[in-house]
Structure 1
Amino acid sequence: MLIGIIEDHQLVRDSFKKLLELQPDWKVIIEACSVTEAKLAVELEQPDIFIVDISLNGAETGLSFLSYLEGSFPHIKSIVASMHDHEPYVSNALRLGALGYVSKRSASDELIDAVKAVALGKRYISEDVNFSMSSENLALTVLTNRELEALPLFSKGLNAKQVAQILEIMPKTAHVHKANIYSKLNVTTSFELLKIAIDAGVIQLDELT
């Protein structure tokens, strides 16, 4: 597994690298101390997983790098390892595409487990991280921005062709979005999807009348 690290403290960066490379076939291929440096590196070589700190040197934070990854390299999974283990940092990071969130206080014990879980597409949040996101909103963080746009439309019972027209995409692409939404949210019917959308506040009941 190929891993990238963006962390502005060299001792922490070195510690993470040493810990990660104890695992067979794991290699840290990017070590960056700023968002600018990380962007230049990821343009040349893409890791499977990026471990991201939030507070960094320079104008941009780790949150902006998460947004960049989701927009430019959505196949790269990300884990936040930060001292900011409370709201609103946690929910913001999850909304920006992070699948994992580990407190630096427990990173030495939990980082390996987090990487293993996220590599499988599972969410991992260490127990000492405090966040208040509802289970419904947490579930929606696994969706891409385009899937989030399509979610309320499919929830209202529109078919793929109708959704494609509204979002100005190909019907085939709309079908793919629908399949991904159903799979990621673990639902099999439009009614189940509607319930999640209402509970998460994506759509309001008066929109259905």
Structure 2
Amino acid sequence: MRIGIIEDHQLVRDSFKKLLELQAGWQVVIEACSVTEAKLAVNLEQPNVFIVDISMHDGENGLAFLTYLNTHFPDVKTIVASMYDYEPYVSNALKLGAQGYVSKRSASEALIDAVNAVINGGRYISEDVKFNTISPASKLSFLTPREKEALPLFAKGLNAKQVAQQLDMMPKTAHVHKTNIYNKLEVSNSFELLKIAIDSGMITLDELA
């Protein structure tokens, strides 16, 4: 597995790299100390997972990089590892596409579990992160505009190829959107997705007739 790290403290970066590369077959292929550096690196080699810090001393912060990855490299899974382990940072990061959020205080224990969770299509938030429990309908705010377009189509039972045709995108991209939607809304099937779409007004009962 290929992993990227964006972290402006070298000691933390080195610690994460050492921890991650203890796992068989895991390799840190990108080590960046700024968003600018990370953008250049990810255009040359896309890792499977990117560990992202929010706070950067220079220029853009990690949230800007999450936006960039979600827009240009939606296949790259992202985990935030930050000292800002409370709201609204957590919700903002999830809204911008992060699949995991780990407090730096517990990163040594939680980071491996977080990587394993997101690489297998799940979501991971470490136990010490202060994350507000919200309703499924409210979680719609986590979705990107493109994911919101795709949601009612998937809720109606369309597959990735059919959604791709309707939204003029590649089937692989549509599949990534579906995975992100299911993860962010924490649903496991189209029935649960349909209920959220109806409850939120994204689909009317007349459309299902």
Q: TM-score range by the shorter chain?
A: 0.7 to 0.9
Counterpart-to-counterpart distance in 2, 1:130 and 1:202: 30
Q: Map of 1:45-60 to 2, 5 A cutoff?
A: 45-60=45-60
- Cα 1:18–1:135 change in 2 (3 A) is farther
Match of 1:85 in 2: 85
Match of 2:110 in 1: 110
- More displaced 10-residue stretch of structure 1: 38-47 or 136-145: 136-145
Give the letter for the 1:180 counterpart: K
- Cα 1:123–1:159 change in 2 (3 A) is closer
Give the TM-score taking structure 1 as reference length.
0.79
Taking only the aligned residue pairs, the percentage that are identical comes to: 64
Counterpart-to-counterpart distance in 2, 1:26 and 1:137: 37
CA shift at 1:59, angstroms?
Answer: 2.1
Give the TM-score taking structure 2 as reference length.
0.79
CA shift at 1:90, angstroms?
Answer: 0.4
Match of 1:187 in 2: 189
Counterpart-to-counterpart distance in 2, 1:158 and 1:42: 34
Match of 1:169 in 2: 168
CA shift at 1:30, angstroms?
Answer: 0.5
Match of 2:63, SS state, is helix
Match of 2:136, SS state, is helix
- Cα 1:109–1:118 change in 2 (3 A) is same
- Cα 1:164–1:128 change in 2 (3 A) is closer
Match of 2:196 in 1: 196
- Cα 1:97–1:141 change in 2 (3 A) is farther
Counterpart-to-counterpart distance in 1, 2:35 and 2:77: 16
5+ residue gaps, structure 2, are none
Q: Aligned-pair RMSD on alpha carbons? A: 3.4
> Contact (CA 8 Å) 1:33, 1:57: kept in 2 or not?
no
Match of 2:16 in 1: 16
Aligned positions, number:
198
Larger Rg: 1
Give the letter for the 1:81 counterpart: A
Counterpart-to-counterpart distance in 2, 1:57 and 1:132: 28
CA shift at 1:58, angstroms?
Answer: 1.8
Residue deviations 1:132-161, cap 9 Å, x none? 151515865886542312324666x6989x
Match of 2:127 in 1: 127
- Cα 1:202–1:56 change in 2 (3 A) is farther
Q: Give every structure 1 segment of 4 or more consecutive aligned residues whose post-TM-superposition deviation is greater than 3 Å.
A: 137-145, 152-155, 157-160, 167-170, 201-205
5+ residue gaps, structure 1, are none
